[in-house]
Amino acid sequence: MPVFVVRRILQAALVLLVMSVLVFVGVYAIGNPVDILINPLADQLEREQAIARLGLDKSLWMQYWAFLSGALHGDLGRSFVHSTSALGLILERMPATLELALTAMLIAVIFGIPLGLWAGLRPHGIAGRTIMAGSILGFSLPTFWVGLMLIMVFAVMLGWLPASGRGPTTLLFGIPVSFLSLEGWRHLIMPATNLALFKLALLIRLTRAGTREALLQDYVKFARAKGLSNARVIGVHVLRNILIPIVTIIGLEFGSVIAFAIVTETIFAWPGMGKLLIDSINLLDRPIIVAYLLVTVAMFIVINLIVDILYSALDPRVRLAEAKG
């Protein structure tokens, strides 16, 4: 197990390094930020001063080297636009994104697993078919369009919920959160539901497929033959076995929820990392784009690692295979 973890961490560090080169070269090869960031009325001297200040006069390799040595000291460059630390800006926005993503995932899990179980137990019943049809719809609905329609119905037509922004925040362990107040929830619920829909559909389908396959297995037949109650067969024997792939997917999908939050945050003007990324792409604020990517990649790698460890904790068979291998 420790060998496995160490190997995974080394591999992760390599991926991070390769990504940083690719992203840096890619992002720093586009456009000319000088044209965008410097006042067009500025004279030649002012322009040169600005270029030197931003470090844009050095060769690409020098720029990368400065970036890399900075990154190892926790400094991912300064935003061209905001003139503050890029990493600082990202970290400042991160709690809002994490709050949104976690709430969305929670909604997907709370509704997805029971609905999927129900559909899997009665695949040919009316409820089962309705749930499945609903999940196909959830899969097919483009997230951004659903967001617009939610705004149209709940904010414009009914006027129940605010159309955009985040509610007032309070500090919880030093992290600003908005889910402690009613006003915070009023702002949170619509974007979180929007973000949850796709994962909800995914979880329903996954749980349903797992349940259908598990019901045909010998251990379920044996449990029934032993005369166990239906609730115990499903709650313990079926659910325990299908939870393994589900936990993996929940973990892996959390990263994609954070990525998809880019869209939801843009629609609902939610002040998270995703909206910052889109704003930065539009302004060609390259240090922020690079910092966002590296932070996200690092998050993904940590998530994947946690999922792997959880996986082996949930399924003894994985541990056995690991020990043999």
Q: Which of 100, 86, 18 is nearest to 295 (CA)?
A: 86
Chain residues 10-69 in contact with another protein, contact rule CB under 8 A: 15, 23, 26-27, 29-31
Q: Which of 268, 299, 323, 310 is nearest to 12 (CA)?
A: 299
Query: Among 136, 236, 302, 313, which residue interacts with another protein (rule: CB under 8 A)?
Result: 136
Among residues 18 and 236, whose Cβ is nearest to another protein?
Answer: 18
Among residues 64 and 139, whose Cβ is nearest to another protein?
Answer: 139
Query: Among 90, 277, 294, 314, which residue interacts with another protein (rule: CB under 8 A)?
Result: 277
Query: Among 59, 83, 230, 282, which residue interacts with another protein (rule: CB under 8 A)?
Result: 282
Query: Among 5, 10, 110, 137, which residue interacts with another protein (rule: CB under 8 A)?
Result: 137
Asked if residue 294 lies in contact with residue 70, where contact means CB atoms within 8 angstroms, the answer is: no
- The secondary structure of 135-202 as a DSSP string is HHHHHHS-HHHHHHHHIIIIIIIS--S-SSS----EEETTEEESTTSHHHHHHHHHHHHHHHHHHHHH
Query: Among 112, 300, 314, 315, which residue interacts with another protein (rule: CB under 8 A)?
Result: 300
Q: Binding segment for another protein among 45-53, 100-108, 175-183, 294-302 (CB under 8 A)?
A: 294-302
Query: Among 238, 293, 294, 314, which residue interacts with another protein (rule: CB under 8 A)?
Result: 293
Q: Does 256 bind another protein (CB under 8 A)?
A: yes
Chain residues 140-169 in contact with another protein, contact rule CB under 8 A: 140-145, 148-149, 151-152, 155-157, 163
- The secondary structure of 288-305 as a DSSP string is HHHHHHHHHHHHHHHHHH
Chain residues 301-320 in contact with another protein, contact rule CB under 8 A: 304
Gap between the Cα atoms of 171 and 107, Å rounded: 23
Gap between the Cα atoms of 254 and 304, Å rounded: 10
x/- site string to another protein, residues 209 to 248, per CB under 8 A? Answer: ----x-----------------------------------
Asked if residue 220 lies in contact with residue 237, where contact means CB atoms within 8 angstroms, the answer is: yes
